Amino acid sequence: MTQIVNLDDKARKIREAINQLGWDIEISSLIERVKQIDAGLVQEDEFFYILNWSNKCSLIHRLDQFQPPAQTPIKEFIIPDFHVVFNIKGEKKPYYIEVKTTKDNHLNWTEKYYQGLLNYSEINKIPILIAWKWKTFDIWTLFELKHFKKLTSNYKMDIETAHIENLMSQLVGDYLVFPYENFGLHIKFKKLGIFEKKDNETIYNAVFDSIYCSGESGIKVKDIDKGILALLFSLTLEEKVEETDSHIIYSFIPSPNKSSFAQVIPTRLTQAFAETGVNWMHLIRDKNFPINYDSLLDSLKAGIEKKIIRNIIFYVPKSRLLIE
């Protein structure tokens, strides 16, 4: 039997629990902090989702942030968000990952925070990586902690360095997709006659004629793979209508950008078709991905042969030190 949840009763019980615990805290402050924690966890869950989608990991484990003993005056260790085991060239290699998202195009950490992460990494002899998404660009980067630059007392990472040293391709299998300039989806209807004229508008009887993707030099490809459609609908589309004497053609053209990182395709499709906020962990448990990694890559490779996709680029960090 489904129980009806009374939010007022739950709210009163939370208020009563706080009073009994003797917390001298404003409810509004507690609620705001819970919202902040929830927002951070949502971003961690999104990255968790991408790691699962890539199928490049043997283990993805969220680490408990609780640190006894509580009386320690200075946090010597900062516990990262994840313990991940990547499958790299037939070997299983463990890493820690700290997840961050910002509105700013840089990360700025205190020496205590930076050193705390480094201490945890060194004492466990497991390298630590930073997963960072700059919200304006909406792309995850993954890089080694050592690439932070010390400026006076703080450590700073800029978005350019994060992309230059990005390990998302080598560890998570991310890549850049570049379709041809004329890439788009087109739905063609054949006019059968005028149904109605209304003001300056003519309404036609029409029959579906064809649907196709366009590629190099306007080439028409009618056999459209699922992965090509996944790429298309993960981009911002501009709708255009062309009318000839015999046909009406509806076109959906990526604008302003046609290129895409593979990592954003499953997340953008999921967000686009979600009626409410996305619960990434539920999707992971249900193995609910709009298209799996291998199917997407196979479709895009086929798109190269069909002259729809121009390039697929797996990128390498400039230093390459971690992998080599």
Q: Output the domain CATH number for residue 74.
A: 3.40.1350.10
322 part of a folded domain: no
Same domain, 124 and 184: no
Judgement on whether residues 207 and 275 belong to the same structural domain of the protein: yes
Same domain, 162 and 75: yes
User: Based on the domain organization, do 155 and 197 belong to the same domain?
Assistant: no
Question: Where a domain ends, among 154, 174, 194?
Answer: 174
Residue 23 forms part of a structural domain:
no
Last residue of a domain, one of 134, 151, 174: 174
Cβ-Cβ contacts under 8 Å for 205 (sequence gap 6 or more): 191, 192, 193, 194, 195
- Residue 279, in any domain of the structure: yes
Note whether 123 and 244 are same-domain residues: no
Total domain count for the chain? 2
Tokens encoding 77 = 């260790």
Q: The tokens of 93 are what?
A: 């290699």
Out of 174, 202, 228, pick the residue that ends a domain.
174
Distance CA 280, CA 42 (A): 8
User: Do 166 and 241 lie in a common domain?
Assistant: no
User: Does residue 104 share a domain with residue 49?
Assistant: yes
For residues 72 and 144, membership in a common domain is answered with yes
Q: Is the pTM of this model over 0.85?
A: no
- Give the model's pLDDT for residue 199: 77
What is the C-alpha separation between 142 and 164, in angstroms, rounded?
Answer: 10
Position 1 scores a pLDDT of 39
| Full residue range of the structural domain in which residue 268 is found | 179-312
Per-residue model confidence as pLDDT tens for the chain (324 residues): 344 456 566 556 665 665 665 556 565 554 554 444 444 457 899 999 999 999 999 999 999 777 766 655 567 899 999 999 999 989 999 999 999 999 999 999 999 999 999 999 999 999 999 999 999 888 999 999 999 999 888 999 999 999 999 999 999 999 999 999 999 999 999 989 887 888 778 888 899 999 999 999 989 999 999 999 999 999 999 999 999 999 999 999 999 889 999 999 999 999 888 877 788 888 988 889 999 999 999 999 999 999 999 999 999 999 875 554
| Closest to 306 measured CA to CA, from 174, 182, 175 | 182
3-state secondary structure of 267: helix
Same domain? For 274 and 155 the reply is no
Residue 236 lies in a domain: yes
The SS3 of residue 232 is: helix
Same domain, 221 and 288: yes
Do 186 and 248 fall within a single domain? yes
User: Quick one: which of 251, 233, 234 has its CA closest to 242?
Assistant: 251
